[in-house]
Amino acid sequence: MGRSMRESISYASGASEQPLLGTTIPRFFDRIAAEHGRREALVSVHQNIRLTYSQLAERVNELGRAFIAAGFAKGDRIGIWSPNNVEWTLVQYATAKAGLILVNINPAYRVHELAYVLEQSGCKGLVLQNRFKTSDYVAMLGEVCPELETAAPGALRSEKFPQLNTVISTTESETKGIFGWREFLALADGCSEEELAARQANQDMDDPINIQYTSGTTGFPKGATLSHHNILNNARFVASIMNFSEDDRLVIPVPLYHCFGMVMGNLGCLTHAACAIYPEASFEPVSVLRTVQEERATALFGVPTMFIAELALPDFADYDLSSLRTGIMAGSPCPVETMKQVNELMHMTEVEIAYGMTETSPVSFQTRVDSPLDKRVSTVGLVHPHLEVKIIDPATGAIQPTGVMGELCTRGYSVMLGYWNNEEATRAAIDSDGWMHTGDTGVMDEAGYVNIVGRIKDMIVRGGENVYPREIEEYLMTQESIEAVQVTGVPDLKYGEEIIAWVQLRDGETTTEEDIRDFCRGRIAHYKVPRYIRFSDDFPMTVTGKVQKFRMREISVAELGLKEIRTA
């Protein structure tokens, strides 16, 4: 920890003897595949697929050649809309090989959100799973892109998305304009290994390689644009702090579309030649514990909600979890008791808390195995290597003394390139000195440990998903009976927070709570649908007419008989 103990200010920098990697993801990938070719790299339990690093490299190169043969140029954007599977990871590495920018699309997104992301990012291609559970991804795409029914694969001409010309299924396709997976891979014959190598060589570590959409306070998601340098280094340091080696086997139940799965999980394993394991396409607590047992996993990731669900299984004690050593709990505040149970009952004696945000690739803080127990369960740990952090007075920008609450800011290699095609939002987030303003409120102690207290703005964290009320409010305002609406979060034992909408109806209009939820279902992501609806003719206001969301939360908590949750 490179911070002076003499100065009692809330600033810390992460000293490290381990230098930053100055390379691209595909170059690093090739090195690991060459050195550890026979090691198991990827296991997808639900697909019954196992790949060594050599086999993974062979498949990645084939897909990379197919992308180039299909006409994708360096810098083109290609979306992926799918739950966890081997194809997701092949696309992750193959797009990097071909110099394409991967656009992660949340599998919970519906038509409205899909259309916005495709248009805002200017996607030229889209890889999607045909359907999953109740989500028919092909039907939703067809709703906004009816030309798919008559187009030839790779020759789509969409009125709404003029740049989108290629749609690829992760399996087979029944729709005329969508490539089946094997059909698309056959295009690889039109691109030589030399062409792929030349494309790979024509990349710089600071090139954008990934866009991840975060919900926006303006009501629209913003595309955090990340480089090779951003995410490769962050993944490596997360795994290094966990003491990862090629002998580790990590179970990844968190979604790959998020940094937790794609960066900390997939790339974290790659940087140490470890094995990434997907128990299911999406989270199922039984499959997680069964996979840990059968695969003799040494590490497990999850948001607190996932660990709580695993611990609550009636037959939890029947699973042999003795192979577990470490893991990471992140995404939302962790209840102290849950942390202790994971430590003791799941044998994860080295489990760590991580904190960050998509815009910082993602991790800025992580607890350490040798940290005092109270710091491991009550803080988000110490600053990451090669990063600077400070806590400032939001009003003046001055660095706060230690022990004084303020806004947490981060600076260093992990800060995103910016929000895709959104200079105004980028300038609002990253100041002229390079500091990323997180919007989170924290307190730093004398030793540099940070406790995240809350959020300056009103973001809700539900089960590890960031939800911005403005986005839900703007959608609900399109319902004809609603005059005004305000959305906030209330505490919830399972998800950390749940969503409540205060609704004011137009004169003479009537509607029910269920009518409003039905208006949301299938049109916005399921985790954004309000759990609670409160009809009200007036909202708590300041004297200047601004809505007091903290008062809304207080009133809602009291009326619903909820309790604030003590968290680590």
Q: What angle do CA 119, 143, 223 make, to 5 degrees?
A: 25
Identical fold, 53-222 and 460-560: no
pLDDT at 542 over 60: no
Confidence of residue 39 (pLDDT cuts 50, 70, 90): very high
Strands 382-383 and 482-492: unpaired
- State residue 460's pLDDT score: 86
- State residue 246's pLDDT score: 98
Q: In sequence order, what DSSP letters do the residues of 112-166 get, joined into one string?
A: HHHHHHHHHHT-SEEEE-SEETTEEHHHHHHHH-GGGGTSPTT----SS-TT--E
pLDDT at 506 over 90: no
Confidence of residue 515 (pLDDT cuts 50, 70, 90): very high
- State residue 122's pLDDT score: 98
Confidence of residue 218 (pLDDT cuts 50, 70, 90): very low
Looking at residues 536-542, what average pLDDT do you find?
Answer: 82
In tens, the pLDDT along 95-129 reads 999 999 999 999 989 998 999 999 999 999 999 99
Looking at residues 134-163, what average pLDDT do you find?
Answer: 97
pLDDT at 141 over 60: yes
User: DSSP state, 50?
Assistant: E
pLDDT at 441 over 90: no
Q: What is the mean pLDDT of the chain?
A: 93
Q: Which of 158-172, 396-410, 446-460 has the lowest mean pLDDT?
A: 446-460
Helix (H) and strand (E) counts for the chain? 18, 29
- State residue 567's pLDDT score: 53
Nearest to 120 by CA among 28, 190, 243, 213: 213
For 77, phi and psi rounded to 5 degrees? -100, 140
Q: Which of 35-39, 274-278, 439-443, 530-534 has the lowest mean pLDDT?
A: 439-443
Looking at residue 275, its amino acid is C
Q: Coil, helix or strand for 241?
A: helix
Domain 460-560: state its class. Answer: alpha beta
Is residue 300 within 8 A of residue 327, CB to CB? The reply is: yes
**What tokens appear for 28 in the block?**
């690093």
For residues 1 and 430, give the distance between their C-alpha atoms in angstroms, rounded to a whole number: 24
- For the beta carbon of residue 255, count every other beta carbon within 10 angstroms: 23
The 3 state secondary structure assigned to 375-406 is: HHHHCCCEECCCEEEEEECCCCCCECECCCCE
Chain position carrying tokens 């760590």: 352
- State residue 337's pLDDT score: 78
Q: Which of 1-15, 145-159, 356-370, 507-521 has the lowest mean pLDDT?
A: 1-15
- State residue 507's pLDDT score: 86
pLDDT at 400 over 70: yes
Is residue 535 within 8 A of residue 556, CB to CB? The reply is: no
Strands 49-52 and 40-44: antiparallel
Q: Which residue has the higher pLDDT, 504 or 90?
A: 90
Q: Which residue has the higher pLDDT, 338 or 37?
A: 37
- State residue 466's pLDDT score: 74
Confidence of residue 546 (pLDDT cuts 50, 70, 90): low
In tens, the pLDDT along 285-338 reads 999 999 999 999 999 999 888 998 999 999 999 999 999 999 999 877 677 778
Q: pTM for the complete prediction? A: 0.85
Q: Which of 271-285, 412-426, 441-455 has the lowest mean pLDDT?
A: 441-455
In tens, the pLDDT along 334-352 reads 777 788 899 999 999 999 9
Nearest to 356 by CA among 308, 416, 282: 416
For residues 423 and 407, give the distance between their C-alpha atoms in angstroms, rounded to a whole number: 22
Arch. (CATH architecture) of 53-222: 3-Layer(aba) Sandwich (3.40)
- State residue 215's pLDDT score: 65
For residues 25 and 402, give the distance between their C-alpha atoms in angstroms, rounded to a whole number: 38
- For the beta carbon of residue 212, count every other beta carbon within 10 angstroms: 27
In tens, the pLDDT along 471-497 reads 888 789 889 999 888 899 999 988 999
Confidence of residue 6 (pLDDT cuts 50, 70, 90): very low
Is residue 412 within 8 A of residue 396, CB to CB? The reply is: no
Looking at residues 49-69, what average pLDDT do you find?
Answer: 98
For residues 469 and 486, give the distance between their C-alpha atoms in angstroms, rounded to a whole number: 8
User: DSSP state, 540?
Assistant: -
For residues 265 and 301, give the distance between their C-alpha atoms in angstroms, rounded to a whole number: 8
* Residues of the chain above pLDDT 70, percent: 96
Q: In sequence order, what DSSP letters do the residues of 434-497 get, joined into one string?
A: S-EEEEEEEEE-TTS-EEEEEESS--EEETTEEE-HHHHHHHHTTSTTEEEEEEEEEEETTTEE
pLDDT at 404 over 60: yes
Gyration radius of the chain over CA positions:
23
Looking at residues 167-171, what average pLDDT do you find?
Answer: 98
Is residue 477 within 8 A of residue 503, CB to CB? The reply is: no
Strands annotated E in 177-231: 178-179, 208-214, 222-227
Sketch the domain layout of the chain as residue ranges: 53-222, 460-560
Confidence of residue 456 (pLDDT cuts 50, 70, 90): confident
